[in-house]
Amino acid sequence: MNAIYILWLRELKRYFRSRSRMIGSLGQPLLFLLALGFGLGPIFQKAGQGSYFQFLGPGVICMSILFTAIFSGIQVIWDKQFGFLKETLVAPIPRLHIMLGKTLGGATIATFQGIVVFFLAVLFGFRPELTLLPLTVLYMLLVAVFFTGLGITIASLLEDINGFQIIMNFLVQPLFFLSGALFPLNNLPKAISIVTSFDPLTYGVDGIRGTLIGVSHFGLMLDFITLVVLTLCVLTIGAYFFSKIQI
């Protein structure tokens, strides 16, 4: 367990040492929040759906967690190329602990990023319900752990950073746009509705939205159970592939 804590702490130190990374990662969420939230707000309101800014806020929070979490896998490939990962893997500790330490470190950073975006959204006019705020953080953490684990799993199979970025961009955009972060899931065409139900991020967005503004498509219990099961699955698969990394 000490190894997990040390690796978790090292990932946090890497993040907080890079101010450009901290500031730069807020650019895209703020663009979506302000440009779409205020730009499409009147149209959304005329359609009888209420405040689009309120609806969009949880989706943008989830987006910031998704991008930060899944791209943390780049660090694994970076460590491979420069030999840092080899130094860690030859240590007399189980590789499972190494994988968990890196995953928890990346997930903590992604959750922190989501919390920062949450406060920025509040600053610009987002008004959440605070009674379920601890549950909101739990959903954030589950989303962060799942996608950090997924990023590390994919990174365990690759050697090239450019290849990882191409795969991630191909994967992340559909995950985000089909998650219901930008549009309601009600009354969708059947084909799109089926696709969204297979998107793991859908349940994270739905859970966070349900706890913050009281609007949930699937129900908070189903969101929670689905995220827990998917997270355990991806951690199991990720631990297996991480153990197969050749040094």
Q: Would you place residue 24 in the very low, low, confident or very high pLDDT band (cuts 50, 70, 90)?
A: low
In angstroms, the CA 50 to CA 28 distance is: 24
In angstroms, the CA 194 to CA 139 distance is: 22
The pLDDT, as a whole number, for residue 17 is 66
Length in residues, the chain = 247
The pLDDT, as a whole number, for residue 204 is 95
Can you give the C-alpha Rg of the chain in angstroms? 18
Q: Are 184 and 58 in contact (CB under 8 A)?
A: no
Taking CA atoms, 101 is separated from 11, 22, 88, in Å, by 8, 21, 11
Q: Write b or e for each residue in 146-180: b if 16 or more Cβ atoms lie within 10 A of its Cβ, otherwise e.
A: bbbbbbbbbbbebeeeeebeeebeeebeebbebbb
pLDDT in tens, 77-99: 777 776 666 667 666 777 788 88
The DSSP string of the chain is -HHHHHHHHHHHHHHHH-HHHHHHTTHHHHHIIIIIHHHSHHHHHHTT---HHHHHHHHHHHHHHHHHHHGGGHHHHHHHHHTHHHHHHTSSS-HHHHHHHHHHHHHHHHHHHHHHHHHHHHHTT----STTHHHHHHHHHHHHHHHHHHHHHHHHT---HHHHHHHHHHHHHHHHHTTTSSS--TT--HHHHHHHHT-HHHHHHHHHHHHHHS--SS-HHHHHHHHHHHHHHHHHHHHHHHHT---
Side chain identity, residue 10: R
The pLDDT, as a whole number, for residue 212 is 94
pLDDT in tens, 30-80: 888 888 877 777 777 766 667 888 889 999 999 999 988 888 878 787 777
pLDDT in tens, 106-161: 899 999 999 999 999 999 888 998 899 999 999 999 999 999 999 889 888 887 77
The pLDDT, as a whole number, for residue 116 is 92
Q: What is the pTM of this model?
A: 0.90
Side chain identity, residue 135: L
Please give the angle made by the CA atoms of 40, 41 and 47, to the nearest 5 degrees.
95
Span of 153-157, 162-166, 188-192, 196-200 with lowest mean pLDDT: 162-166
How far does Cα 5 stand from its chain's mean position?
A: 21
The pLDDT, as a whole number, for residue 231 is 95
The pLDDT, as a whole number, for residue 62 is 93
The pLDDT, as a whole number, for residue 201 is 94
The pLDDT, as a whole number, for residue 21 is 63
The pLDDT, as a whole number, for residue 78 is 78
Hey, where are the domains in the chain? 2-243
Does the pLDDT value for residue 163 go beyond 70?
A: yes
Mean pLDDT of 13-33: 72
Please give the angle made by the CA atoms of 5, 117 and 144, to the nearest 5 degrees.
40
